[in-house]
Amino acid sequence: MKRLLTSAVAAAAVFAAGTEVEAQARASLFDFGVYAGGSFTSPWLTIPDEDNITPGFAGSFGAVANYWFTPTIGVRLHGGFIPHQIEHPDVRAGTTVDVNTWLYDLNLAFRPWIANIDGNWASTAYFFLGGGGLTANIAGGPEAGCLQPIPLQTAHGACLSFNPRHATVGQGTLGAGIDLFPLTEGIGIFGELAAHVYSSPFHTGTGWAPTNVAAQGNDPIAVTGRFVAGVKIALGDVLPPPPPPPPPPPPPPPPPPPPPAERAIQVCVVQDGQLQNVQAMFREQQRDTVVMRDGQQMPFGQAFPATVGYAAGQTWFIQDQPIRVMNREWVKFGVPRLFEAGQLTRVTEHQGVPIFAEQGAMAPHNVLYVPVRPGCEMQPYQPRTAVGRVRG
Report pLDDT for 17: 40
Report pLDDT for 193: 97
Own/partner long-range contacts of 73-76 (Cβ < 8 Å, ≥24 apart):
73/108, 73/109, 73/110, 74/108, 74/109, 74/110, 74/111, 75/106, 75/107, 75/108, 75/109, 76/106, 76/107, 76/108, 76/109, 76/128, 76/130
Residue 24 has pLDDT above 50, yes or no: no
Residue 154 has pLDDT above 70, yes or no: no
More confident residue, 215 or 328: 328
More confident residue, 283 or 321: 321
Q: How confident is the model at residue 239 (pLDDT cuts 50, 70, 90)?
A: low
Q: How confident is the model at residue 26 (pLDDT cuts 50, 70, 90)?
A: low
Buried b (16+ CB within 10 A) or exposed e, 256-272: eeeeeebeeeebbbbee
Contact between 180 and 228 (Cβ < 8 Å): no
More confident residue, 140 or 84: 84
Give residue-wise pLDDT tens across range 158-214: 788 888 888 999 999 999 999 988 899 889 999 999 999 999 998 877 666 655 555
List, as one string, the DSSP characters of 276-301.
EEEEEEEETTTTEEEEEETTEEEEHH
Domain coordinates of the chain in residue numbers?
28-237, 262-303, 315-386
More confident residue, 329 or 89: 329
Residue 7 has pLDDT above 50, yes or no: no
List, as one string, the DSSP characters of 106-131.
EEEEE-TTTT--SS-GGGG-EEEEEE
Report pLDDT for 148: 62
Count of residues in the chain: 392
Report pLDDT for 389: 52
Contact between 115 and 132 (Cβ < 8 Å): no
Residue 371 has pLDDT above 70, yes or no: yes
Best CA proximity match to 220, nearest among 238, 247, 198: 198
In angstroms, the CA 169 to CA 122 distance is 35
Mean pLDDT of the chain: 82
- The one-letter amino acid code at 317 reads F
Contact between 157 and 204 (Cβ < 8 Å): yes
Residue 366 has pLDDT above 70, yes or no: yes
CATH number, span 28-237:
2.40.160.20
According to DSSP, residue 16 is labeled: H
According to DSSP, residue 40 is labeled: E
According to DSSP, residue 13 is labeled: H
